Amino acid sequence: MPQTSRRTSVFTESLIREMSRVAAKHGAINLAQGFPDGDPPAALVQAAKDAMDAGRHQYAVTWGSPELREALAAKLTRCTGAPVDAQSELVITCGGTEAMLAAVMTVCDPGDRIGMFSPFYENYNADAILSGAISIHVPLHPPGYGFDPTELRAAFSTGGGLKAFILCNPSNPCGRVFTRAELLQLAALAEEFDTFIITDEVYEHLVFDGREHVYFSTLPGMAARTISCSSLSKTFSITGWRLGYLHAAPNIIAQARKVHDFLTIGAAAPLQHAVVTALGWGPDYYKSLAAEYQARRDLLLGYLSETGLSYSKPEGAYFVMLDVTPLGFSSDVDCAHWMTEHIGVAPVPGSSFFPYPENRYVRLNFAKSQPVLRAAGERLSCLRAGRGSV
């Protein structure tokens, strides 16, 4: 019998989504897969109902309905301070997941090298494999998850250089928010080695403790070589709506639209129309969102501190990496399953986010309501540094 493609044998199904299934099996609190547990704003839900009642059931324009692109361009212009052309600089995608794959496929040919920081969101390696590209990893060093400029330069300068570099900011899974000075170092290398930068900015509005999210495309000279990928899922609590987008210079978008067209044709038409309502909301919405998630972060971290286990305080996004070494497991996967079944809280094995064997961490998310986080915290409180796994 013929064999399936080689590329499908070198990556696995998502450990994140697997742990959601394990959580459901054991009735555990799911702090693995990062989705909110509450409803979207009522006005947004009503807009979706209205769109369906208005008969918006057929294909929208492949790269996004005109109304959505206009509203999104206006929102991006307000947030970045740089004008965005709705007609030539945007593609609406089926979530940030498709946006990232479309971006990688747009710029990379088989054999091209694509860099990324490690730990990384698990999809990035799969995107590279599906595109025939070679992943090059630059470590972020705990506890602060900063990078070594020498190691970053080596990734750009060796082996024929990089065609592209993926930047997740704020970072999933470690919660790092990169400073302007750090981003300028990356920008200088991109300019020197003529490299595309693909940004994953789905957590752009979830930054804490007075930090600023710097849009990479706004740095000097970077608009022409940056493909910004983002999503409306986390910002408006609509992960199941699968609405994301690409923003880039017109010459890049012209190619990305072709990739998107043959990947998915287009995102759900009534939901594209509905989300226009939310894109018109002012800065108070985003300030309130960040404040609420900061409070959720602090609540969960308070419980984690009581365990004595080590973690790095997230600066953004809604994830925390917890060092479970003292629990005595040789496998983070075994630890995650044990926590789900016996503690009643499901994490993600940290090895999902590294290119080499790494068994010290699990990832927890705080995208849940405060009552759910309190319940999870009470269950996690039975963990103590130095306590074994049995």
Q: Which domains does the chain carry?
A: 6-40+284-380 (3.90.1150.10), 56-279 (3.40.640.10)
What span, in angstroms and rounded, lies between the C-alpha atoms of 311 and 309? 7
CA distances from 97 to 121, 191, 249, 260, 381 (A): 11, 27, 20, 12, 34
Q: How far is CA 127 from the centre of its chain?
A: 13
- pLDDT the model gives residue 87: 97
Distance, first Cα to last Cα, the chain? 45
CA distances from 104 to 122, 135, 140, 184 (A): 14, 11, 22, 22
336-353 as b/e, with b when 16 or more CB fall inside 10 Å?
Answer: bbbbbeebbbbbbbbbbb
What span, in angstroms and rounded, lies between the C-alpha atoms of 291 and 288? 5
Classify residue 197 by its DSSP letter: E
Residues composing the chain: 390
What span, in angstroms and rounded, lies between the C-alpha atoms of 175 and 312? 8
- pLDDT the model gives residue 85: 98
- pLDDT the model gives residue 390: 35
Instruction: List own/partner pairs for 152-158 with CB under 8 A and 24 or more apart.
Output: 152/185, 152/186, 152/189, 153/189, 155/115, 156/115, 156/189, 156/192, 156/193, 156/195, 157/193
Q: At what angle do helices 269-279 and 66-80 cross, to 10 degrees?
A: 30
- pLDDT the model gives residue 8: 83
pLDDT of the chain, 390 residues: tens digit per residue: 898 888 888 777 888 889 999 999 999 999 999 889 989 999 999 999 999 999 999 999 999 999 999 999 999 999 999 999 999 999 999 999 999 999 999 999 999 999 999 999 999 999 999 999 999 999 999 999 999 999 999 999 988 899 999 999 999 999 999 999 999 999 999 999 999 999 999 999 999 999 999 999 999 999 999 999 999 999 999 999 999 999 999 999 999 999 999 999 999 999 999 999 999 999 999 999 999 999 999 999 999 999 999 999 999 999 999 999 999 999 999 999 999 999 999 999 999 999 998 999 999 999 999 999 999 999 999 887 444 433
Q: Which of 155, 194, 133, 174 is nearest to 11 (CA)?
A: 133
- pTM, rounded to two decimals: 0.95
For residue 164, list its beta bridge partners. Answer: 114, 196
Query: In this structure, what are the phi and psi dihedrals at residue 196, rounded to the nearest 5 degrees?
Result: -75, 145
